[in-house]
Structure 1
Amino acid sequence: MRYLDIHILQTVPLSALNCDDVGEPKTATFGGVARMRISSQAWKYATLAQLRRDHPSTDWGVLTTRAADMIAEAMPERDYPRPPAQLAADLLAAAKIAVHGTGDNHTQGRTKAMLRIGAREADALAELLAAAAETGQQPAAREVTAALTAHPPVCAVLFGRMVAKRLDLRIDAAVSTAHAIGVSAAETTLDFYTAMDNLATDSSAAGFFGTTGFGSSTLYRYATVDLDRARACLGQDTTAIITAYLRAWITSMPSGRTAETAPRTLPHLVSVALREQQPLNLSTAFASALPATATATEAAHRLLTEAADFERFYNMAPAAAWTLSTLPDLAHERLGPLRTLDEIITGVAATLSPAPAGAR
């Protein structure tokens, strides 16, 4: 087994990148102390959005309840016996993918659970329905299964797909993502804001006002890629997809309230390690919260020390490692030669790519 561990330290300014149900920045208790938290789902969403922008021709897929609409849009023009979206919904239901029935006016034809589906899958199912319109025979179950398993979308390979009654359509996620947590205690800053009515003629120009919360912290971010699982689904595309994911995961950021706070930053420290025993989450380095005045350099030193200790005592030094750091005063024996982001991507690509035929 081989795993690609990605550890990141990133400072975010006063912001609200990921909020709870009452609009306040999310927190989590860790080591007995409340920390700023950005959910793994929020960062995965941002990563996929960036991947779609940077590589629009790749079948990344979508997470949706509107799979029937997606299939219907791909269906060629024919004289169908019923509306295409209805035929697509019935096809999904026949495949034991739960779909809302005719009694659900607002959700009719939608899947009852979110489904990861890609363009190639939708196209394949659309072709089956078009052929059925020509022959008058419903697609065989094995054909539907083949359409949903031959070319899974990349989002399903990376982040998994679960279909409750169809375990054969299930895809175990190649990427595991931790919630990003602050390395020090969270302190939410309350902001009283006023929206001014530009056309008001009296002194009461406040058209709207309220209170909202913001927070800032240095965050520890962690994700790990099961490379064997990824290669089993992606085959020869593994290197291109994983390196694209790596770049997007490092440089993306959730978009909550960004217009209000302009919080876009990049990591101070990126440590990528190729492991052959097991993945290693290093959040334990921050189980004891750093002081609020601690610098990113102090956080980096603690993280690197934690990694070095585990690797020494458990005899699990990485097979390869690459480090990026923008901290000029950081000194640690584990750092090794520093790399640029492009050099990290190139190094990982060289490690993942199969050796040429005849190479020793």
Structure 2
Amino acid sequence: MSRFLQLHLLTFFPPANLNRDDTGRPKTAVVGGATRLRLSSQALKRAWRTSPIFEAALMGHMGSRTQRLGEVLRDHLRAGGMAEEAAVETARVIAGIFGKIKDAKDKDATRIEQLAFISPEERAAALALADRALAGEKVDEKAAKDASLLRTADTAADIALFGRMLAADPDYNREAACQVAHAITTHRVAVEDDYYTAVDDLKTSAEDAGAGFLGEAAFGSGVFYLYLCIDRALLSRNLGGDEDLVATALGALTEAAATVAPRGKQNSFAAHGRAGYVLAEKGDRQPRTLAGAFARPVSGTDLMADSIAALQRFRGAIDEAYGQAAEASVEMEVGASGRLADVIAFCRA
């Protein structure tokens, strides 16, 4: 079985602001001397792992990224009859295994300082330890550590794919099996501004003809190149060798990457794009991005077709110079050949 799975996608998005910077404008990057729109890998991964696709395919195999495990434990202990003060203290001790707990005087005294990625098995183990406390067992810091709440492998597919960092206990960090590049437009872009008004429905013409609110919203449009590289061997190790779950996770990831967009300003733009082109490759050789196809901005009247042609030319040139990178591959081009279902089946196998 090949170690690496690489995905290359070209997706057109109409005017949108899917991923904003600190000023509220679409994120950009200068590539090849030209400004491009950009979608951060963080925004993409968040959209995928919270999508209905992941929810349906990986139900029961998704972690929780949260500061609030201590609150879940506290409420569980209170519901079991433990007094408030004891419930808070016990919850702090158990949740402290997953990260530094806020000060006891803080109004959120059971919360972890940082976001912690917690698998279903780890959550269940934490609640089981809370049940031991309800049964009268003393649960202090030593007991919490001895309970082995943390895992180095489990069935949390999103943690296995995207990794986690536990500052409090680096031995239980999880290396991401999936690398996701920032998506960039294949061509030069100009971020535009929309000047808009909002009308007060109860305002009468006798007052004035002005709007109740004035504002500006930035947006941009283009064909984005997205690249993912998955280390299937590492994914399998992260999932404890469960190959059926590996296949399910890869299928869900492939479908989400082709069909799910970040949610920024979607109510204003409804930019629900679908990949116009997908190339999936398998092999054991060192992976390589094909972003170099777009170091020189694509131009022309058919940006999707020209982008596909540029990617295929660059892929051929790279393979000619370095040798064929992939042992097997499959392509889908909307309006030409292939189906997403075939790409998903290829990625799962």
What TM-score do the two structures reach when normalised by structure 2? 0.90
* Residue 83 of structure 1: how far off its partner (Å): 5.5
Cα contact 1:74–1:123 (8 A) shared by 2? no
Amino acid of the structure 1 residue aligned with 2:222: S
* Residue 327 of structure 1: how far off its partner (Å): 4.7
Does 2:252 align with 1:254?
Answer: no
User: Structure 2 matches for 1:7-18, cutoff 5 A?
Assistant: 7-18=8-19
Amino acid of the structure 2 residue aligned with 1:38: L
Cα root mean square deviation, aligned: 2.2
Does 2:316 align with 1:308?
Answer: yes
2:123 and 2:316 map into 1 onto residues whose CA distance is 47
1:96 and 1:122 map into 2 onto residues whose CA distance is 10
User: For each residue in 1:41-84, what CA deviation from the matched residue of structure 2 results, as whole angstroms up to 9, or x when unmatched?
Assistant: 11111101114443362321121111212344566942325454
> Which of 63, 66, 75 lines up with 1:64 in the alignment?
66
Amino acid of the structure 2 residue aligned with 1:346: A
Identity, % of aligned pairs? 27
1:67 and 1:7 map into 2 onto residues whose CA distance is 37
Cα contact 2:174–2:238 (8 A) shared by 1? no
User: Structure 2 matches for 1:230-241, cutoff 5 A?
Assistant: 230-234=235-239, 235-236=241-242, 237-241=245-249
Does 2:213 align with 1:208?
Answer: yes
Judge which range, 58-67 or 2-11, deviates more.
58-67
* Residue 96 of structure 1: how far off its partner (Å): 6.7
2:4 and 2:113 map into 1 onto residues whose CA distance is 34
Indicate the residue corresponding to 1:101 in structure 2: 103
Cα contact 1:68–1:86 (8 A) shared by 2? no
**Which consecutive unaligned segments of at least 5 residues does structure 1 have?**
329-337, 352-360
Cα contact 2:153–2:238 (8 A) shared by 1? no
* Residue 135 of structure 1: how far off its partner (Å): 3.5
Indicate the residue corresponding to 1:119 in structure 2: 120
Cα contact 1:17–1:258 (8 A) shared by 2? yes
From the superposition, tell whether residues 292 and 65 of structure 1 become closer, same or farther in structure 2 (CA, over 3 Å): farther
Does 2:343 align with 1:344?
Answer: yes
Does 2:132 align with 1:131?
Answer: yes
User: Structure 2 matches for 1:123-272, cutoff 5 A?
Assistant: 123-138=124-139, 140-149=143-152, 151=154, 153-202=156-205, 203-234=208-239, 235-236=241-242, 237-272=245-280
* Residue 114 of structure 1: how far off its partner (Å): 1.1
* Residue 212 of structure 1: how far off its partner (Å): 1.4
1:241 and 1:232 map into 2 onto residues whose CA distance is 13
Amino acid of the structure 2 residue aligned with 1:341: L
2:98 and 2:18 map into 1 onto residues whose CA distance is 37
1:31 and 1:309 map into 2 onto residues whose CA distance is 19
From the superposition, tell whether residues 184 and 243 of structure 1 become closer, same or farther in structure 2 (CA, over 3 Å): same
Aligned to 1:108, the other structure's residue is in SS state: coil
User: For each residue in 1:255-292, what CA deviation from the matched residue of structure 2 results, as whole angstroms up to 9, or x when unmatched?
Assistant: 11111112112111000001211221111111111226
1:198 and 1:305 map into 2 onto residues whose CA distance is 56
Aligned to 1:310, the other structure's residue is in SS state: helix
What TM-score do the two structures reach when normalised by structure 1? 0.87
1:207 and 1:19 map into 2 onto residues whose CA distance is 25
Cα contact 1:224–1:279 (8 A) shared by 2? yes
Indicate the residue corresponding to 1:20 in structure 2: 21
Cα contact 1:18–1:25 (8 A) shared by 2? yes
Cα contact 1:184–1:292 (8 A) shared by 2? no
Cα contact 1:116–1:155 (8 A) shared by 2? no
* Residue 103 of structure 1: how far off its partner (Å): 3.3
Indicate the residue corresponding to 2:44 in structure 1: 43
User: For each residue in 1:290-313, what CA deviation from the matched residue of structure 2 results, as whole angstroms up to 9, or x when unmatched?
Assistant: 226452111111111111221222
**Which consecutive unaligned segments of at least 5 residues does structure 2 have?**
none
Cα contact 1:274–1:318 (8 A) shared by 2? yes
Amino acid of the structure 2 residue aligned with 1:348: C
Indicate the residue corresponding to 2:57 in structure 1: 55
